[in-house]
Amino acid sequence: MSSSMDVGSRSQRLLPPRPVPEDLDAHLAGFGPRPQIGSMAMIDALDDSGLRGRGGADFPTGVKWRAVMDHTKRDGDAVVIANAAECEPASFKDRFLLTYRPHLVLDGLEHAAEAVGARRVVIYTTRSHSDVVAALRAAIRERRRRDDSDRFIDVQVGPNRYVAGEETALVARVSGHLAKPKVVPPRPFQNGVDHLPTLVQNVETLAHAALIARFGAPWFRSVGTKRSPGTALLTVSGAVRTPGVLEAACDTTVGAIVDRAGGVEGEPAAVLLGGYFGRWVAADRIWNQTIDADALRSVRAHLGTGVLVIAPDTTCGIGETDRVLTFLASQTAGQCGPCHVGLPAIAEMFHQVATGRARPAALDLLVRWSHDVRGRGACRHPDGATLFLASAMEVFAADLRHHLRHGSCRFSGQRSLLPVPATEAGWW
């Protein structure tokens, strides 16, 4: 469980020293062969490490694996799915990791399958990530040729839809159904693919697990904080000079991360943290906060999918929020009324406010409707969308009043900061 091997600097664990895709030879040269470790020892190491899911839910990884293992003992088999869907438009950390260090993720996937007793192992991504699919299939072929694994790993693809990356949607798609979320409980660890206990784990989390298996929980905890140990991958964009994917220890401040991204361009006004289910926070409130869970909670934010977007004071925050809300409303799976009916109504009302076509009472309606839809629906899509909206109404309150009274502001014509991708019409 321990090693004297040095795997990079304090904040460079998951990413290679140089941005060059690693083949199996390079992976083995850097890390050595994957260690053999028993199920209980692996899960105990995850518990001791404090690793929490890096896909957005921030759930303790050891607890999740143990729940699947316990159900496998009763049911006799399990399924493991590596979630590489990355349907968050502002994030590409998972794609970056899979392109440059696919074997580290595959090591973690092998450990997960062994720990929970899974015979079926799947990596799930979307059709739009064709480069990731190619990199994964090439890495899997390498491992099979070298006999590094006799386990068959299947790569499956699904639709590029925002909620199609939610874990119950993945389970449905791998089971041969439409990639739409399901009401829980039962959760996948209880009743997943083909009614078997199923572990769905984000690929960054699996890569961390592979390192913990090699170097141990104390090594993982040697950086970060007690509540948020280790490092995290971040997609940094917006008003920074060198946008891209960075790895940072969880006790690093937002300002220090921006400095590593080349520094800020212009005067920062706000930061979007956590993606489109995250929150806008005023720049002066978050700049000196670290990215650990407790510090972010103090400003009512969370790391989520590791998205960090810097909005300068020349950005129209209302226009950006308007575009994202319209996008999120278009992503409903159409299964639950609060989402299918409520979100489009909220998005349309906010659009009227943004374009100066609404009455002042519209703001009260937006607040009331947001509360009406929150906490309802299969996948909590309305929760993320309305919390994103609420943060915009707070941070951009002065701009909101201007738009309400006068319509578009002088920054409305600026190039869009937040990406809003085209998505598929279907769910297969």
Where along the chain do its domains lie? 24-221, 317-406
Q: For the segment 208-223, what is each residue's pLDDT rounded down to a tens digit?
A: 999 999 999 999 999 9
pLDDT at 3 over 50: no
C-alpha to C-alpha distance for 410 and 408, rounded to whole angstroms? 7
Query: Can you say whether the dihedral through the CA atoms of 37, 43, 47, 51 is positive or negative?
Result: positive
Q: For the segment 290-304, what is each residue's pLDDT rounded down to a tens digit?
A: 999 999 999 999 999
Q: What does the H/E/C string look like for 23-87?
A: CHHHHHHHHCCCCCCCHHHHHHHHHHHCCECCCCCCCEHHHHHHHHHHHHHHHCCEEEEEECCCC
Q: For the segment 314-370, what is each residue's pLDDT rounded down to a tens digit?
A: 999 999 999 999 999 999 999 988 899 999 999 999 999 999 999 889 999 999 999
Q: For the segment 145-174, what is each residue's pLDDT rounded down to a tens digit?
A: 887 666 789 999 999 999 999 999 999 999
Question: For position 10, what pLDDT does the model report?
Answer: 60
Q: Could you tell me the pTM of the whole model?
A: 0.94
CB 64 within 8 A of CB 141: no
Written as six digits, the tokens of 332 are 């409903």
C-alpha to C-alpha distance for 56 and 388, rounded to whole angstroms? 14
Question: For position 8, what pLDDT does the model report?
Answer: 39
Question: For position 413, what pLDDT does the model report?
Answer: 78
CB 356 within 8 A of CB 405: yes
Q: For the segment 214-249, what is each residue's pLDDT rounded down to a tens digit?
A: 999 999 999 999 999 999 999 999 999 999 999 999
CB 194 within 8 A of CB 171: no
pLDDT at 422 over 70: yes
Q: Tokens 């308007």 identify what position?
A: 322
317-406 CATH, one of 2.60.120.460, 3.30.390.30, 3.30.70.960, 1.20.1440.230: 1.20.1440.230
Q: What architecture is the 24-221 domain classified under in CATH?
A: 3-Layer(aba) Sandwich (3.40)
CB 143 within 8 A of CB 404: no
